[in-house]
Amino acid sequence: MYAIEFEADIKNGVVKIPPEYSELQNHHAHIVVMVKDSAISPSSGSPLDFSSTEIDAFKHHDGVEVQRKMRDEW
């Protein structure tokens, strides 16, 4: 596997591969899309919002103190 890099506009969900990469025609590829932050509107909420999650594991412990004890074991 090898990587190439180029810039292109996305029009109607289609990215046109530049002519210098014509050998990619009719091949399977792994695509990574990088866009400027301003190109995408912010979502209504983060999919990784755990603010309403309750975790009882360390409920009655000081998290910093637990970490200090763990580090002392090293």
**pTM, two decimal places:** 0.43
Please give the share of the chain, as a percent, with pLDDT higher than 90: 5
pLDDT tens column, 8-41 = 888 998 988 899 988 888 889 888 888 877 656 6
Tokens linked to 2 = 């090898």
